Chain A
Amino acid sequence: MSSINAAGDVKTVTKGVKSRTSTLLLLLHMRTFVALILVFAFFAIAAPNFLSTGNMLIISKHVALNALLAIGMTFVIIAGGIDLSVGSIVGLCAMVAGYLVLFGIDLNFLGIAYSVQFNTIEICLIVLVVGVFIGWINGMLITKLNVAPFIATLGVLYVARGAALLFSEGRTFPNLAGNPEYGSDTFRIIGSGTLLGLPISVWIMIVVALLAAYLATRTPLGRHIYAVGGNERGAALSGVNVDRIKLFVYMFSGFCAAFVGLIISSQLQASHPATGETFELNAIAAAVLGGTSMSGGRGRIGGTIVGAFVIGILADGLIMMGVSSFWQTVIKGLVIIAAVVVDQIQQKLQARVVLQQNAN
């Protein structure tokens, strides 16, 4: 009799433990979101004017830039790579955009005394093609020439930055007001226009994020990205074209970076060759904060967006509170480390729960 009672007790106890672990797991699973709510609540109380519409719009504009880069970065990292060149692609694309707005393409070098001018749509397309092309170079270096992603994109980081500086010999392209005659006076809308009360840049982020999330979860391409990052050999033997997947993620990352270059040059009405320096680190931080595993195979677009918001709100909120920028940097670093530590804890816990379920 006593043995039956004991067994029953054990069962209730494990049940209690199980529901506790599952609540904990849910909280850990949503940790970036929980962090976002905490950070938001903290600044709402601590920083005056934090909740004002104007401030919210400013923060969302800042976040949109980092989030766009981080979306591209997330795909690259899920596929088992890294893209250090995005900041430089932003800079180069900003310079290309500025040049096209100011000068168009001068055909003098062909011996023709004529310069081709572009409207806003054409400028955007050309800049996006430039971004995708640089991503393609990254991808070719990595897949065809077997350069390690870290090295390949580090090299391209320097080359693209140098190219941006060469474009204007280090100067800024000022006054990108555009010319109504060519249809490029609408260029400023990308950075400063609004639609239904939201900045255009935020809309771009939303559309790209939705597209990326769909790609990741509902297409064979997305599934293959996860497979390549999870086990490259296994994916290849399953018939996945690994090189094509890798090429795609770097091109997509270049595409996202080109958008950021467009938005910044339009916002500032000027192109500076140093635009986007160290942006790549913020993008990696947002991806990691959002639960993307640096060893590949794991990550979600939604997580990355939330991660970008945590970083953005933290940065702007601390500025509003008058915290020194030195401390801001320290705090950002600590948050990233904490995120990864919590991630490790979650992984362990989850594996244990699955093993338990299998045993039952």
Chain B
Amino acid sequence: MSDASPVEPHPIGLSIRNGSKIYPGTQALKSVDFDLRMGAVNVLVGENGAGKSTLMKIIAGVEQLNGGTIELDGKPVVFADKADAAKQGVGIVFQELNLFPNLTVAENIFVGHEKTKAGIHIDSAAQTATARALMKRLEQEIDPNAPLGNLRIGQQQIVEIAKALAEDARILILDEPTSALSATEVEVLFRVIKDLKKQGVGIVYISHRLEELIRIGDYITVLRDGVITGSRSMQGVDIPWIVANMIGSASKEFPKTVEHELGAEIFRAEDVCLPSAAGGYAVDHMSLSVRAGEIVGLYGLMGAGRSELLECIMAQHPNSSGQLFISGKLVKEKSVAGRIRRGLALIPEDRKRDGLVQIMSIRENLTMSSLYDFTRGFHLSLKAELAKAADYVKRMAIKIASLEHPVSSLSGGNQQKVVIGKALMTKPRILLMDEPSRGIDIGAKAEIFRTMRRLAADGLGILFVTSDLEEVLALSDRILVMANGRLTGQFPAGAKASDVISAATPNLNRVEV
């Protein structure tokens, strides 16, 4: 902040002083000072979970600070909710689309603030006309009366942006607005942003695409673990500077590699393809292999197709194609149970939705995939089941009061251990882990990383997906990078962070720095 020049062409529109936000279990923001400058693009960057989204939600009134103050044009304000913030001129385009596929484009743009006659009758003609004008401004040929569900994802994102523009916001927050846009659409968006800047709108711009940030940004703020680690004008900023501030030098605790020889190839995927609903491929001719005892990290940005690849391997997409080999033998099984029998196991990304049956007990969740190990004929031996479950609780060091409590009563880290225990009970040979450390505290993370190391040393092949750069660099024996459904990079352990990031940025060529 000290290196901001004294002559400032961009006035500060909104500022946060000493802002803190605490969620149950974690502190998302720690005494953050943030200045939002009008007529400029304020770039916000950081890894997943660094607190970007929280900061944004606070500016947009979706969340409230636990401590600290917000000033708008020099006067202290408190946004009660999003509507309150919108009234004061703050608009936001969320990363996940908040649209209604069953309504038309125009209806979506005006949802919640419909144009009306006499307060009750919706003036469709006026709405359609305004929507058409907005589409023209965004240089899109989208019919305002088309149902939103019929549009491509990229077009839907344009509609989301149009929705924010329709509110004439003085402050506009864009959260990863380009993640689903094509190159030409990005150019249009950048032109619109320049336009808005001229009108004095203050823009907060969040993206993982570093080249893009350097090109469009005027000011940059880097967040790490809820703390601002760098904040300055964009002049002279380069990618190494950003990466250094994103990752920092004080590394988290990663266990050392357990020295062991890598075995023969244990798993190979060839030419895995998954057609995407939006056209093209979500997984585009992916091939990879994992050796026994090897930890392969699969890095990429959101929507790169990593989770989809794992789901294809786990037989979740009937219309996917490609071949899988375990120890050189073709996997013909088409069912999840069949693939589990062959030695595949998946730790899903979304624990609550995919990993656990929340209302069932810890014991029942642990043994879910291996019930037939305790069954003779029809009869399930509850005694054998209980013994095995207790054994895994001890082995995974899961902290529980009783095996019979619902699994929902556990903390995130312990729930994750239950999911991993369930997978290990099937005696897998290849473990697929999708964001294994998401949403769990640092202590549990370290334990899970240690478990991964131990399993690899025992000869298991591990393929894990992560969006955490530090994690992929520290844990992997080999790093694969995916972007737009394709393999875009392959690095040995000890690769340079900036190389990995560049490979993960899918539109490297089209954005000229």
Contacts and interface: CB of A to CB of B under 8 A. Distances in A.
Interface of B: 314, 316, 335-337, 340, 346, 348, 353-360, 364, 368-369, 371-372, 375, 378-380, 382, 400-402, 405-406, 409-410, 422, 426
Given A298-B359, A354-B405, A355-B409, A223 B354 contact: no
B429 to A, nearest CB: 15
A234 to B, nearest CB: 5
Interface stretch (A224-232, A310-318, A327-335): A224-232
B406 to A, nearest CB: 7
Interface of A: 218-224, 226-227, 230-231, 233-241, 297-298, 351, 354-355, 357-358, 360
Nearest to A220: B371
Contacts of B316: 236-237
A358 B405 contact: yes
Given A223-B364, A355-B409, A358-B401, A241 B335 contact: yes
Contacts of B410: 358
Contact of A233 (B353, B364, B426): B353
B386 to A, nearest CB: 13
Contacts of A239: 335-337, 340, 368-369, 426
Contacts of B402: 357
A231 B348 CA distance: 14
Contacts of A235: 357, 368
A355 B24 CA distance: 14
A297 B380 contact: no
Contacts of A220: 371-372, 375, 380
A227 B422 CA distance: 14
B398 to A, nearest CB: 12
Given A223-B364, A298-B359, A358-B405, 12 more contacts: A218-B379, A219-B378, A219-B380, A220-B380, A227-B360, A237-B314, A238-B368, A238-B369, A239-B335, A239-B369, A358-B401, A358-B410
A223 B361 CA distance: 11
Contact of A219 (B358, B379, B406): B379
B337 A234 contact: no
A358 B405 CA distance: 9
Contacts of B348: 237
Nearest to A297: B359
Contacts of A237: 314, 316, 336, 346, 348, 354-355
A241 B354 CA distance: 15
Contacts, number: 88
A231 B415 CA distance: 15
The A contact surface, by secondary structure, is helix
A234 B351 CA distance: 9
Contacts of A355: 409
Count chain B CB atoms within 10 A of each CB in A218, A226, A231, A297 and give the residue with the most: A231
B41 to A, nearest CB: 40
Contacts of B359: 230, 297-298
Contact of A357 (B336, B340, B358, B405): B405
Nearest to A221: B378
Contact of B368 (A221, A240, A354, A358): A240
Nearest to B400: A358
| Nearest 9 interchain pairs by C-beta | A230-B357, A239-B337, A220-B371, A231-B357, A238-B368, A357-B401, A239-B340, A238-B369, A354-B409
A223 B380 contact: yes
B356 A218 contact: no
B337 A241 contact: yes
B308 to A, nearest CB: 14
Contacts of B375: 219-220
B357 A297 contact: yes
Contacts of A297: 357, 359-360
A18 to B, nearest CB: 13
Contacts of B337: 239-241
B382 A234 contact: no
B330 to A, nearest CB: 20
Contacts of B357: 226-227, 230-231, 234-235, 297
Count chain A CB atoms within 10 A of each CB in B356, B360, B402, B406 and give the residue with the most: B360
Count chain B CB atoms within 10 A of each CB in A351, A358, A360 and give the residue with the most: A358
Contacts of A236: 316, 336
B285 to A, nearest CB: 25
Contacts of A354: 401, 405-406, 409
Contacts of B340: 239
B356 A231 contact: yes
A44 B246 CA distance: 76
Count chain A CB atoms within 10 A of each CB in B359, B406, B409 and give the residue with the most: B359
Nearest to A226: B360
A223 B375 CA distance: 12
A351 B405 CA distance: 9
Contacts of B358: 230-231
Nearest to B374: A220
11 contacts: A219-B380, A223-B364, A223-B368, A233-B354, A235-B368, A237-B354, A238-B368, A357-B405, A358-B400, A358-B401, A358-B410
A240 B370 CA distance: 10
A350 to B, nearest CB: 9
A219 B359 CA distance: 19
Contacts of B372: 220
Contacts of A234: 353-357
A238 B422 contact: yes
A234 B407 CA distance: 13
A303 B369 CA distance: 28
Contacts of A221: 378
A57 to B, nearest CB: 34
A130 B264 CA distance: 56
Contacts of B380: 218-220, 222-223
A358 B403 CA distance: 11
A351 B408 CA distance: 9
Contacts of A223: 364, 368, 371, 380
Nearest to A293: B359
B46 to A, nearest CB: 31
Nearest to A239: B337
Contacts of B356: 231, 234
A103 B290 CA distance: 69
A358 B409 contact: yes
